């Protein structure tokens, strides 16, 4: 599997008019997956370690996995067609009946939240990674603008 997938991390989450842009990548390349506001907020809250008063849907899924004795192994963004990304969640279970690996179809956004919550790796299929546009410069420009804006806000305070 090593050559078929690329390990990525979340490089940034930015609000957009219709949701959030999630920047994923490594040292070689960064690309964007657009998600709805709800999941974008869940990703950002998980990254920031925000404690929630009540469990959100992704928290509930994590509790269900725990209760069933399943562990999230990793997630893979495995396909992209016409601007839509697809992902798989890989779970492993072990009980008195033996070992079992379960692979589930999922939205990349939900997969990312679960991987972050369970501190598990996020992979992208090599074919997908090679086909997406490199957004590294755009991310760096946005982060620089945010930093400058933050510095200006600090000076005004």
CB proximity list for 64: less than 8 A, separation 6 or greater: none
pLDDT in tens, 75-84: 999 999 998 9
Name the least confident of 7-11, 33-37, 138-142: 138-142
Name the least confident of 20-34, 54-68, 96-110: 54-68
Beta bridge mates, 125: 5
- Specify the CATH superfamily of domain 5-156: Bifunctional nuclease domain (3.10.690.10)
Structure confidence at residue 30 (pLDDT)? 97
Could you tell me if 20 and 13 are in contact, meaning their C-beta atoms sit under 8 angstroms apart? yes
Structure confidence at residue 133 (pLDDT)? 94
């Amino acid at each position: 599997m090593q050559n078929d997938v690329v390990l990525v991390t979340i490089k940034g989450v930015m609000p957009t008019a219709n949701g959030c842009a999630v920047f994923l990548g490594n040292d070689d390349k960064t690309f964007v997956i657009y998600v709805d506001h709800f999941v974008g907020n869940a990703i950002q809250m998980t990254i920031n370690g925000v404690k929630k008063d009540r469990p959100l849907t992704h928290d509930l899924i994590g509790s269900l996995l725990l209760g069933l004795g399943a562990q999230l192994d990793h997630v893979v963004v495995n396909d992209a067609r016409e601007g839509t990304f697809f992902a798989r969640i890989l779970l492993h279970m072990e009980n008195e009946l033996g070992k079992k690996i379960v692979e589930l179809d999922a939205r990349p956004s939900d997969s990312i939240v679960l991987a972050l919550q369970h501190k598990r790796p996020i992979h992208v299929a090599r074919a997908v990674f090679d086909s997406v546009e490199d957004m590294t410069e755009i991310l760096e420009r946005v982060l620089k603008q945010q930093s400058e804006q933050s510095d200006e806000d600090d000076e005004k305070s």
